Structure 1
């Protein structure tokens, strides 16, 4: 992918955990278990969802995910990423006038 859609796909990769790194049950790999500040965009999304009354993870709590929770996170992440990439590829093909 290229252009805007490629950049969006790169942003989606932000939440992808690497092989053996521990995951926070609340923030995935974003907080590195409280050792780094959460990215501003992450905080903005959580705060916006909170204002809309949605259930959101606590920004100041960190807990290591159990192996089962980490496996579920990875499954959900991979499924969401594949869906977004397929959608982006379809839109990009449509913009180029290519058959789907």
Structure 2
């Protein structure tokens, strides 16, 4: 074990930052849905073109959910939000219980 406490703390902080960033991206996509559809309807006046906007949004949300679900826990190395088949976006690792703000509580 050549690593000291600071090296492990830095790895932990970097890993949690990646998890938080992916979660923020997902939440941002979810929050932008209604304004994007509304703007699309107002600008184009077309249901068909709004359906294209929806399809693009849906693919982006699917990719964001997948990226957030499979991100690895910096402590145990297992998927942070995945325990079984369905992702559960709680604020702690489904395997070791590491909290999203564990690096901020020090």
Same fold (TM over 0.5): no
Bigger share in helix: 2
Taking structure 2 as the reference length, the TM-score comes to 0.38
Taking structure 1 as the reference length, the TM-score comes to 0.40
User: Which structure is larger by alpha-carbon Rg, 1 or 2?
Assistant: 2
Considering Cα pairs closer than 8 Å and 6+ residues apart, tell me whether 1 or 2 has the greater RCO: 1
